[in-house]
Amino acid sequence: MPISGFPEWMPPQRMIEQRVIERIRTTFELYGYAPLETRSVEPLDTLLMKGETSKEVYVLRRLQADDNAKDDDQLGLHFDLTVPFARFVGENAGKLQFPFRRYQIQKVWRGERPQEGRYREFLQADIDVVNRGELPFHYDCEMPLVIGDALGGLPVPRVRIQVNNRKVCEGFYRGLGLEDTAQVLRTVDKLDKIGPARVAEVLIETVGATRAQADACLELAAISAEDGSFVDAVRKLGVEDPLLDEGLGELLRVVETAREHAPGLVTAELKIARGLDYYTGTVYETLLEGYERFGSVGSGGRYDNLATSGNERFPGVGYSIGVSRMLGVLFGQNALNISRSVPTCVLVALPNEEQRPACDRIAGALRKRGIPTEVAPTAAKFGKQIQYADRRGIPYVWFPGEPDTVKDIRSGDQVEADAAAWEPPAGDLRPVIAG
C-alpha cells in the first residue's frame, strides 16, 4: 500500500528525475562545486539546535535494541542538508580547503503529520560556499546564477528567482522604531497566507506597532522590481538605518549581477522572509512561471553563524532546489513526459532459443558502442516480439539474418545493418523528455 507522504514514481518519471539530477549535478560541477554526501542521521541535539523544526524530526530506534543501550535513541533523520553540512564543516574544518564549495543531492525526511498531505521523504539538491572568518559577498550573487543555469537547461517552465535581504527588513523595522524585528519578520512572512489586513492586525497586537508602523511594513513588503529601482522605492518610505543601507547595497549587487549575466532571472521581492532562523542576509525563493500558485521549488540564503568549530565561525551562503517538490508539481500537472518507459533503444529479436548466444553477441556489439540493447525474452512469434518493443516505446527491433536488418517500428522502415557499425539517429539513443 502507498504510504502517505512517501512518493514512489514509476520508471518513466524516475528516468525524468534522473535526467534532472544529472543536469543539476553537471551544472554544479561546471561551477567547481565538489560533491559531498553526509550520513542520513544526526544526533538529535544537532537537529534540534533550531527549535522550530523539532516537530518534524523522525527518530530512529533499533527494533532489537537492548534496554540499556541508549546510543541509537539519540539519532534522527536529517530534515534538510544545511544543518548536516554545517555540522560536517565544523567537524572537519582542519581537513578542508576554504572557501569550501560543495554540492549535495540527497533525500531528507520530515515527520509531518500525515493528514497534511505533504512529502515526508523528498530529494533536495543543495549548493553552499563556506569560508573561515569572512565570506566575500560575491558568492551571494553567484548562487542564483548557478541555479538559473542548472534549471534553465531543462524542459521545465522558466525559473524566476525572488531575492530579498534580511538586513533590509530588520534595518527598516528598527529604523521605524520596532524592536522585536524577528517577530515582525515572522508575521510579514505570513503575508501570502493571511493577507495584509490580518498582518497589520497581528503586528499591532504582538509587537505593539502603531497603524502607521504596520502600514509602513506592508508598504515595504509590497516593493518588487527587476532592477535597482527598488532602492528608491524604499528610500521614499523615509526610514533611515545603517543596517537598512547595508542590506540595500547587498541586494542591489545581487540584482545587478543577475541583470548582467542572466537578464530576467532575478527579482528583488521585499516580502520574502524565509521561515528559518539561521539566515542573516540574502534570502532566495524560486518560482516556476505559470506554476506560481504551487509555491517555491527552491530556496536559500546567507547564514553567518550556523557552522562553528571552537571559537571559529564559518559563514556560508547556500541554495537548495526542491527536486521532489518541483517534479511533483510538474508530474501532477502532466507537464513532463518521456518518449519511452525503458532506456532500451534496440530489441534484438530471437528467431529461436538456439540462436540466443548469437543474439547476445549482436547485443554486446551494440552496447559496446553505447547503444542500450536488450535481447527478446523468448522466441515468441516476431509479432509478439515487436509488441514487446512497442509497449515499452523501444524504437528499433533488430532481426538477425543474412544480412541482419533493423526495423524502425514507428515508421515500419527496415534496412540492412551491421551490429559493428549501425547507429541510431542521435535523438533516438536516449529517451527524450518533453515539457
Residues from 342 through 371 that contact a second copy (CB under 8 A): 342-344, 356-357, 360-361, 364, 367, 370-371
Contacts of 205 (CB under 8 A, 6+ apart): none
From 392, 346, 333, 337, select the one nearest 19 (Cα to Cα). Answer: 337
Sites for a second copy among residues 268-297 (CB under 8 A): none
Rounded Cα–Cα distance for residues 341 and 321 (Å): 26
Cα 308 to its chain centre, rounded Å, is: 25
x/- track of binding to a second copy for residues 144-183 (CB under 8 A): -----x----------------------------------
Is the CB of 121 or the CB of 241 nearer to a second copy?
121
Rounded Cα–Cα distance for residues 185 and 179 (Å): 11
Does residue 1 belong to the site contacting a second copy (CB under 8 A)? yes
Contacts of 378 (CB under 8 A, 6+ apart): 350, 353
Minimum distance from residue 290 beta carbon to a second copy (Å) = 27
Minimum distance from residue 423 beta carbon to a second copy (Å) = 14
Sites for a second copy among residues 384-423 (CB under 8 A): 391-392
x/- track of binding to a second copy for residues 178-207 (CB under 8 A): ------------------------------
Does residue 249 belong to the site contacting a second copy (CB under 8 A)? no
Rounded Cα–Cα distance for residues 80 and 321 (Å): 11
Minimum distance from residue 307 beta carbon to a second copy (Å) = 15
Binder of a second copy out of 20, 23, 24, 33 (CB under 8 A): 33
Type of residue numbered 131: N
Does residue 373 belong to the site contacting a second copy (CB under 8 A)? yes
Minimum distance from residue 33 beta carbon to a second copy (Å) = 7
Residue 421 DSSP code: T
Does residue 121 belong to the site contacting a second copy (CB under 8 A)? yes
Q: Are 30 and 99 in contact (CB under 8 A)?
A: no
Minimum distance from residue 121 beta carbon to a second copy (Å) = 6
Binder of a second copy out of 45, 51, 61, 352 (CB under 8 A): 61
Minimum distance from residue 255 beta carbon to a second copy (Å) = 14
HSE-up of residue 259 (Cα within 13 Å, Cβ side): 13
Binder of a second copy out of 52, 55, 401, 420 (CB under 8 A): 55
Helix axes 166-176, 242-261, angle to 10 degrees: 150
Give the cell for residue 109. 525526511
From 281, 222, 275, select the one nearest 248 (Cα to Cα). Answer: 281
Minimum distance from residue 400 beta carbon to a second copy (Å) = 16
Minimum distance from residue 205 beta carbon to a second copy (Å) = 27
Type of residue numbered 43: P
Match 527496415 to its residue by C-alpha cell.
Answer: 414
Residue 226 DSSP code: S
Does residue 117 belong to the site contacting a second copy (CB under 8 A)? no
Binder of a second copy out of 116, 136, 240, 435 (CB under 8 A): 136
